Structure 1
């Protein structure tokens, strides 16, 4: 399968599903202390699409991402990455799935300070004993604009540059899907816009699939689609979002919450 956004390959990717939740339920605690974080959520994330997940604090957006990424266990229902069902996978298989199929970007950059930018980018593949595809790696580095910074260590990079390294690390192994949890939360607005632009370009130019949890309407406006959660359920979604439209929708949820 090519990564170009034209022709049959693109049409196939555009209709294929990279990850899917079906009646996904996550419950914490028991008895009187029980909290239903996810209440029978069903949602699909299509390949070569940038999806943002939004909702009020406690709505379940990060829990949904963590369950879909195999970082948290599932209480009921189904979660799949491609054709792989996560439910019931042993720890070793889950670790292999996360290593081979999934890329992660978090609010904290999670870079090793003693390694160069390039070494941080290739670290997951080095651990797995796999050699990077040099042509792909060069393309990723070019996409995120790190060509002149590969020999620098994290302390020699700005926050925005460190997050670019984290984005490149997630892209370098060509995962089936990238999960990003508030990836611009520790960045100023300019650096945040750069990182979001790189994620957007990775979808358009590299055919990547990105699912991002965010509370920021501006960040959500970079996505192709926004899924809204409230009280552990999907309550709405929006295609081709703008920052103003997302903000208005979030305000409506807040108003409903205050009157309910």
Structure 2
């Protein structure tokens, strides 16, 4: 399955210190079996698992998967490989809190562009002793139940490889035993690689145990059913123990769990290349919209504040557009309205006939139009400057809103990337959220138009031609969508370009 040759991987810590995670590691892993990778924190074991799963990329060396080199693969190719071949199980479960149990498991199929197999999902739930839990929310489950759901999600797409990072780290001993029994059973037909601190369980359940220290392999042992058991030293009652005897007892106690394991010799791999399974990730639009809409529940204050500012900017844009489309008629309509108000206020009887009044005002405007036009142009310039300021504020508010949304969804995004979703697939969630956000803005603008229309009349559109009217209406509503998507494109692009491990680790 895996042929790892002289792999090196380093990174720089937050403190700016260069660190070597893996140092010239070479290793072969077969097509099936339960392999444990042990080591203290920082030994390189999790880094190796991330490289095997395509969550991260190595600096030098090569990892061949079924005889196919991954040296030239880009991140999108690694995402496709993970989506098609790998089932990931994490210590923190990485389940979608916004989905129920059934939808969490079905998500693995949907990312492959397949219709979820309901019968298979129910069979897996039965196998995990969770039948009847399919409608439950994730926060209603215990740690052990969550981990079994994560295993079912990994299995539903029939992966060739299962990679488990500390799968029992947050579980009690009884539940841990249950999880290891499941993984041991799966390893009869698949390769299961488990990163763990638990040496006792590793030697109890594993076919092979590899221990790492300082980025290198310290020990590589394989279970040998025919190995001759070490004879225990016998001592008589009252016998005085010398230093050699004490050391012998200590060594035996220290290595008791390694009984039946011998140094790993040759690991046989497939002679001929196996077809490299490459499945591009997909996310149904309905699910993307549902995940995008769920974000609105947790940012209500920021949503209202940013929406009001964007609504104001949109209305201001429309007013400037209308003034630019029909400046003279706009001014004439405004002057007539002012004249009517003035005469009503002072009960002025001259030009009481409305048509006569309009003709008189129109005549005055025509005579003074060059001067009025210059004055209006100056006003438009000031309005455009004000609009530019409001656009900048709106841009920043939308940017802040979606940055907050991305941070809130980092865990879910990390889970999707771990399952095999490409950056572009994850972007659909936030683009859907952006569409919903802009639609809310336009609904508010429409409500404003209706209120203003019934309160003051719809005279503001009477002076427009049919073509100008549709341009005014279309541009006004389109404005909110354009502004929203221009504001969110940068944070979404930045997120989509990140390596999966950086998203999962919240770097």
TM-score, normalised via structure 1 length: 0.79
Note the residue ranges of structure 2 that are not aligned, 5 or more in a row.
225-252, 260-507
2:4 aligned partner: 21
Q: SS state of the match for residue 105, structure 1? A: strand
Structure 1 CA distance for aligned equivalents of residues 254 and 200 of structure 2: 8
Residue among 201, 218, 226 paired with 2:209: 226
Task: Find the partner of 1:56 among 40, 48, 59.
Answer: 40
Shift of 1:48: 2.0
Match of 1:11 in 2: none
Distance, in Å, in 2 between the alignment partners of 1:209 and 1:144 is 19
Task: Supply the distance in 1 between the matched residues of 2:31 and 2:4 (Cα, whole angstroms).
Answer: 14
Which residue in 1 is equivalent to 2:193? 211
Alignment correspondent of 1:155: 139
1:72 match:
56
* Structure 1 residues 190 and 114: CA distance shift in structure 2, 3 A: same
Quote the offset at 1:120 in angstroms.
0.7
Residue 182 (structure 2) pairs with residue 192 (structure 1): no
- Deviation string 1:186-231 (CA, Å, 9 cap, x unpaired) is 1111111111111112123xx1211010001233121111011112
8 Å Cα contact 2:90/2:167 also seen in 1: yes
Question: Conserved in 2, the CA contact under 8 Å of 1:217 and 1:246?
Answer: no
Cα distance in 2 for residues equivalent to 1:165 and 1:174: 15
RMSD: 2.5
1:143 is displaced (CA, Å) by 3.2
Distance in 2 between the 1:123 and 1:223 partners? Answer: 30
Structure 2 residue aligned with 1:6? none
Contact in 2 for aligned 1:226/1:237 (Cα 8 Å): yes
Conserved? CA contact 2:102–2:121, under 8 Å:
no
Query: Which residue of structure 2 lines up, in the alignment, with residue 236 of structure 1?
Result: 219
| 3-state SS of 1:152 partner | coil
Residue 254 of structure 1 corresponds to none
8 Å CA contact 1:143–1:201 kept in 2: the answer is no
Q: Is the 8 A contact 2:6 2:25 kept in 1?
A: yes
CA gap 1:148/1:223 in 2 versus in 1, 3 angstroms: farther
Gaps of 5+ in 1: 1-17, 250-260
SS at structure 1 position matched to 2:205 = coil
Q: What whole-Å deviation, never above 9, does each CA across 1:114-135 have from its counterpart, x for those lacking one?
A: 3221211121211221134566
Q: Which has the higher strand share?
A: 1
| Paired residues for 1:1-260 under 5 Å | 18-29=1-12, 33-132=17-116, 136-204=120-188, 207-220=189-202, 221-240=204-223, 245=255
Query: In 1, Cα distance between the equivalents of 2:256 and 2:102?
Result: 36
CA distance in 2, matches of 1:33, 1:152: 45
Tell me the TM-score normalized by structure 2. Answer: 0.42
Over 3 Å counting, the alpha-carbon distance change for 1:136 and 1:203 in structure 2 is: farther
Taking the aligned partners of 1:214 and 1:93, their CA distance within structure 2 comes to 28
Q: Bigger CA drift: 63-72 or 138-147?
A: 138-147
Matches of 1:145 and 1:39, distance apart in 2: 42
Equivalent pairs, count: 228
Structure 1 residue 77: deviation in Å? 0.5
Contact 1:65 1:179 in 2 (8 A): yes
Mapped contact 1:107–1:184 kept (Cα < 8 A): yes
Could you tell me how far 1:85 is from its partner in structure 2?
2.4
- Tell which structure's C-alpha radius of gyration is larger: 2
CA distance in structure 1 between the aligned counterparts of 2:185 and 2:116, rounded to whole angstroms? 21
C-alpha distance in 2, partners of 1:210/1:245? 24
